[in-house]
Amino acid sequence: MQNAPSYKSPSGWNALLPQRRNREDETTTRRFRTAVIGAGYTGLAAARRLAELAPGEEVLLLESSTIGEGASGRNSGFLLVNPGEPSANAAGFAKEWATRQMGLVEAGLDWLRALVSEHSIDCDWDENTPAITAAATPAVEKSVRQTRETYRAWDLDPEEYSRPELSRMLGTEYYRYAIRSLTRALVQPAALHRGLADTLPAAVRLRENTTVRSLGDSAPFLIQTNRGEFVADRVFVTNNLHARSLGIARNRMIGIYTYGALTPQLDDDQLALLGAEDAWGVLPGHRMGTTMRKTKRRLLIRSGDSYEKELGTADARRMLTQLYRRRFPRMRSHEFEHVWGGLTAITHNDNYFFGQVKPGMYASVGCGGAGVLRGTIQGKLLAEHASGLRSSLLRDRLELGTPTWLPPEPFRRIGATLQIAFEQWQAGRER
C-alpha cells in the first residue's frame, strides 16, 4: 500500500498562494494504456512527455496529495545544476562524472525554463539573485575552498566572497567565506509545481488525492486506489520514497524529514538588517547546515534532519527559531508565520533508481533532496526510454550508477540515526 503523505503543517510556500481547486479529472474509462503514479516534478515531466509522444492518447496521472502540498512544494527553491553540492570533493566526483551529471541537469533546466516561459507560469523564476555556498567554521571553509578548486578543475570558476563582503550582502557576520553556488535559478517551489500541473496537455488526466493502495505484478496492471480501480498496460512509478510500498527499491531508500520556516513580511527597518541585497540565497557548506533565502520581504530558514518520523511543529519551530536568532540577533522578532516539514528519499550512494523494473513497469525514484531539475529531466527521459527513443542524454543516464543495498530494520534506523547525530555534531555552527 502506498502511504499517502500526511504532514503536520501545510507548506508555507503553498500558503502564500491563492487557494487552488484540486483537479480530479473525470475519465470515460478505467482502462488506460499508460498510468503514472506520483505527480511530483518527475511524474509531471513523465506524463507531459508521454502525452507529447502519443498525441490523443490519454495518460492517467495519480497523485495521493494535493498539488503544491507534497514534497515538491516544500523545498527551498534552489535550482542546482550540480547535484553533489556542497560535496564536490566526495569520492567518485570525477570530472567525467560531473560533466555527465551536470549535462543532464542543465537539460532539465533548459526544458523547465522553456515550459515556464511558454505557459507564463508565475513562479518568481529568478536567474539574477546571488546564491552562494557559505561556511561558518574554519573546517568547512577549508572544504568550500577545496570545492572551488574542484570546480576550477571542471573548467568552472565561481566567484569568492570574504567575510566583509558577506556581512554587507547578508547583514550578518556569521559566515567567514563563500563561493557562488551552481544554482541557476531561484523559484517559488509550490507555485512552480502548481503551474506545471495546471498546464499539462489535455490528454493527461490528473487525479489528486488519489492514493494507490496496491499495484498488480504484471501487465495489464491492476491499480487499486481509494477512488476505485484502474487498469493500465504500462505503469510509471514516480512517487519517490513511497515506491517502497509498491515493491520498488524497497531496500535502497530511507526517508529523511527536513524543516522550513518563513517569517512574516518584514518592514523596511527589519529588512535592512538582512543585508544590502534585495534578495539572496545561502546554501550551507556542510550538508547538515542551514539553508536561507531573503525573498519577497521574508526570510526563509530550512534545516534539521529526522529519520522517517516528522518532528512536531512546535519542536521544529523552536529549532529553527534558535538558528534564526543565532544568525540575526538584532531582529526585533524571531517569529515565523509558517513552519513545515518535508520528506525526501535518500539513498546510501546518492544515486537514483531509474529504468525498467519489469516488462511494462518503469520507475524513477530516490531523489536526494535536489530533485527539481534532476526529477524533471529524469521523468522526461524515462518516458522516452519506455517509448523507444534514444539520445546521448538517455545513454548518459542509463550509464550512471544505481542505489546500493541498505540493511534491514532495526539496523537501518540505528545506523541512520547515529549518522545524523554524528554529522549534526560535526556540523557545529554550520547548523
Q: Using CB atoms within 10 A of its CB, is residue 98 exposed (0-12), middle (13-18) or buried (19+)?
A: buried
Residue 243 has what pLDDT? 96
- For residue 2, being part of any structural domain is answered with no
Pairwise CA distance, residues 323 & 285, whole Å? 16
For residue 351, what are the domain limits? 12-430
pTM summary value? 0.96
- For residue 1, being part of any structural domain is answered with no
Q: Using CB atoms within 10 A of its CB, is residue 177 exposed (0-12), middle (13-18) or buried (19+)?
A: buried
Closest alpha carbon to 42 in 236, 293, 198: 236
What does residue 75 show for φ and ψ, rounded to 5 degrees? -85, -170
Residue 28 has what pLDDT? 76
Q: How many domains does the chain have?
A: 1
All three cell numbers of 28, joined, read: 470515460
What is the mean pLDDT, run by run of 10 residues, along the chain of 431 residues? 72 96 82 97 98 96 96 96 59 72 93 98 98 97 93 92 98 98 97 98 96 96 96 97 94 96 98 97 95 98 96 98 98 98 91 95 88 94 98 92 93 95 94 95
- For residue 409, being part of any structural domain is answered with yes
- For residue 379, being part of any structural domain is answered with yes
- For residue 7, being part of any structural domain is answered with no
- For residue 334, being part of any structural domain is answered with yes
- For residue 6, being part of any structural domain is answered with no
**Structure confidence by residue, pLDDT tens digits, 2-52:** 455 689 999 999 999 999 988 887 777 899 999 999 999 999 999 999 999
Is residue 184 classed as helix, strand or coil in its secondary structure? Answer: strand
- For residue 173, being part of any structural domain is answered with yes
Instruction: Please report, for the domain that includes residue 388, its CATH number.
Output: 3.50.50.60
